Structure 1
Amino acid sequence: MKLMHVDASPKRERSSSRALARYFLDRLGEHMPLEIDYLDLALVPPPHVTEAFAIATYTPEENRTQAMRDILAPSDALCRRLLAADALLFAMPMYNFSIPSAFKAFIDQIVRTNVTYKVGPDGRYVGQLARQKTLFITTRGADLRPGAAFESYDALTPSLSAAFGFIGVANPWFVDAQPLQFADQEARDAALRRARTELDSVASAWANEESVAA
């Protein structure tokens, strides 16, 4: 399996999302060989959208100047990496109830007309990442689980579901470790245990799907 792994936490060894992503890859690697394409958005942040980028991306390819092609080159490269992968693993913390800015910039680089989505003859948008298994690992300082006091504050899950659903990811997996920052040690330990148990299940499910497909 060729897997693209993207980390978005600016923390290094102290990052819980990074640690959980490594845990998942270890578990998945016990089931199958992995070819990992790794991207660290903290070390290689994607460029933010500019006026020139917006103009270039909506200019028909045959009409683009060399300057436009140069502006789109980093985005083109990211899109190729996504489309080439069999599975996608995205790990990130929740910041102020939503997506870290580096990952939002990443999304803005990969949601590309005629690349990761196309417009069909009937006018419908067709995402091009329908075949990729996708897992989001998120860490949250507060408890946003159903029934918790902060449940309605979760802007991260619907944002990720909408953006990636538009480019074809219909049924992503979510594993959310919560509460972490704003909790006592016992609650933090329990949150990480729950997350690791869920990741064990996702690894087994992916392995079973691969064996059936083979």
Structure 2
Amino acid sequence: MKLFHVDASAKREWSNSRALSRHFIDLLKAHKPELEVDYLDVSVDTPAHVDELFTIATYTPEAQRTPAMQQALEASDALCARLLAADAYVFAMPMYNFSMPSSFKAFIDNIVRTNLTYKIGEDGSYVGKMADKALFITTRGADLRPGKPLGGMDALTPALRAAFGFLGVAAPTFVDAQPLTFSAAEEREAALVRAKTELAAIAGRWVGT
């Protein structure tokens, strides 16, 4: 199995989402030492934000693209190739202001590509080309679980479901560690224990398939 692993936290080694994603990868490797991991840290290697040339180039037929257009799409083309070469995905990120880090949004904008990561059928339907095995590990400072005071403020989960569902991930798995920053030490520890327990169960399912 080839895994594409993406981290997005700006906190680097202080990051809970990074620690949890490493923990999950270690669980997988304990059972599958041959696991191949393609790693990308978008907080370091941040994909370029979409600009005018990129937008025009994506909607220009490939045979008609100028050298400048081809250059504008080169990094995005490479990202799409890495994405499509994987059998499974682990995307780890903190919640920033109720949604995703801007670096990860830039990643999404670079991988949603017509005739690469999704196709448009003759009937006008959209068909995503990604594999359907995807895990999203998110960390949240506050508690946004249903029934909590901020339970309706989660803009991250629906945004990820929409973007990656469009690309073919029909049934993503989410592990959300919360509350962390804005909580007592006991609550933080309990949140991380819950997340690790969920990750262990998911790792068991993945290595069994």
CA–CA distance in structure 2, aligned partners of residues 199 and 146 of structure 1: 21
Q: 5+ unaligned residues in a row in structure 1: which ranges? A: 210-214
Task: Quote how far apart the aligned CAs of 1:28 are.
Answer: 1.0
Number of the residue aligned with 1:137: 137
Number of the residue aligned with 2:77: 76
| 1:43 maps to amino acid | V
| 2:61 maps to amino acid | P
What's the CA shift string for 1:19-41, capped at 9, x where partnerless? 00000001111221211101011
Number of the residue aligned with 1:185: 185
The alignment partner of 1:30 has SS state of helix
CA–CA distance in structure 1, aligned partners of residues 207 and 116 of structure 2: 29
Number of the residue aligned with 1:212: none
CA–CA distance in structure 1, aligned partners of residues 132 and 172 of structure 2: 9
Contact (CA 8 Å) 2:88, 2:133: kept in 1 or not? yes
CA–CA distance in structure 1, aligned partners of residues 12 and 108 of structure 2: 22
What's the CA shift string for 1:111-132, capped at 9, x where partnerless? 0011101101111011011x34
CA–CA distance in structure 1, aligned partners of residues 116 and 150 of structure 2: 37
Number of the residue aligned with 1:200: 200
Query: Does 2:4 align with 1:4?
Result: yes
Q: 5+ unaligned residues in a row in structure 2: which ranges? A: none
Q: Following superposition of structure 1 onto structure 2, how do residues 121-132 of structure 1 map, counting pairs within 5 Å?
A: 121-129=122-130, 131-132=131-132
Query: Does 2:121 align with 1:120?
Result: yes
CA–CA distance in structure 2, aligned partners of residues 79 and 40 of structure 1: 15
| 1:94 maps to amino acid | M
The alignment partner of 1:147 has SS state of coil
Number of the residue aligned with 1:91: 92
CA–CA distance in structure 1, aligned partners of residues 182 and 108 of structure 2: 28
Query: Does 2:161 align with 1:161?
Result: yes
Number of the residue aligned with 2:42: 41
CA–CA distance in structure 2, aligned partners of residues 13 and 58 of structure 1: 39
The normalised TM-score by structure 1 is 0.96
Contact (CA 8 Å) 1:9, 1:17: kept in 2 or not? yes
The alignment partner of 2:37 has SS state of strand
CA–CA distance in structure 1, aligned partners of residues 13 and 206 of structure 2: 27
Contact (CA 8 Å) 1:117, 1:126: kept in 2 or not? yes
What's the CA shift string for 1:144-164, capped at 9, x where partnerless? 112111110000000000000
Contact (CA 8 Å) 2:132, 2:171: kept in 1 or not? no
Number of the residue aligned with 2:22: 22
The alignment partner of 1:143 has SS state of coil
Number of the residue aligned with 2:176: 176
CA–CA distance in structure 2, aligned partners of residues 144 and 29 of structure 1: 31
Identical counterparts, % of pairs: 65
